[in-house]
Amino acid sequence: MVRLAVVVEGETEGDFVDQVLAPYLLECGVYAKPTSLGGRISVVRLAGRIAELFQNFDFVTSLVDFYGFRDRGTRTVDQLERDIVQGVDGRLRPNWDSRRVIPYVQLHEFEGLLFSQVSGFLNVPGADQAAIRQLESIRGQFPSPEEINDDPNTAPSRRILQVLPDYVKRVDGPQIAQAIGIATIRRESPRFNCWLTRLESLAT
């Protein structure tokens, strides 16, 4: 069994790994264990945590939001991921295998994935068909759920709360993802799908 550490931003992403991602990957021969960074996401903090975990796991990855990066500046998602690897290299050089580090930055926010199938929101308190139609309208404005933008007023989590004020990220987020299912999320979210495909292959 391949041991995979998943550095997550907070409790919601940790629960998503525990409840949705880990059971799926276990069937692929990969044991995934989340470890929380506790917010305040930066390249330096991520690289440091990954370097700490490197010796105790076969592979280390991350699941953090592009939206929440404190030091992203003008960098793209891909640039941030490359800089994370460079940061790990600076801590572990020369005796490390970069193939064992798989940084992943979610574009733009974890909640974007929940728009993969908006009927998953039906179990949120206050959800009705009118709310679902509003969420469907939001989803229809973007090529994929991952591209729902990260402006402070229109980030996926803000959009959800505007429609469903009783939405509780920690409780509802992982449950919605579980209801939607990995197959639908990866079909609708190309970047997430590429990451998951790579994780699936680790045992081989």
Q: H/E element holding 64? A: strand 59-65
How far apart CA 23 and CA 40 sit, in angstroms, is 28
Strand 30-36 with 101-102, pairing: unpaired
Quote the pLDDT of residue 173.
95
How far apart CA 190 and CA 169 sit, in angstroms, is 23
Cα 86 to its chain centre, rounded Å, is 21
Closest CA to 102 of 75, 62, 66: 62
* pLDDT at position 180 over 90: yes
Quote the pLDDT of residue 150.
64
Give Cα separations from 99 to 13, 21, 53, 198 (angstroms): 23, 21, 14, 11
pLDDT digit string, tens, across residues 72-113: 889 999 999 999 999 999 999 988 999 999 999 999 999 999
Closest CA to 106 of 168, 41, 50: 41
pLDDT digit string, tens, across residues 113-161: 999 999 999 989 989 999 999 999 999 999 999 999 867 778 999 999 9
152-180: average pLDDT: 93
pLDDT digit string, tens, across residues 181-199: 999 999 999 999 999 999 9
Burial class of residue 36 (count of CB atoms within 10 Å of its CB; 0-12, 13-18, 19+): middle
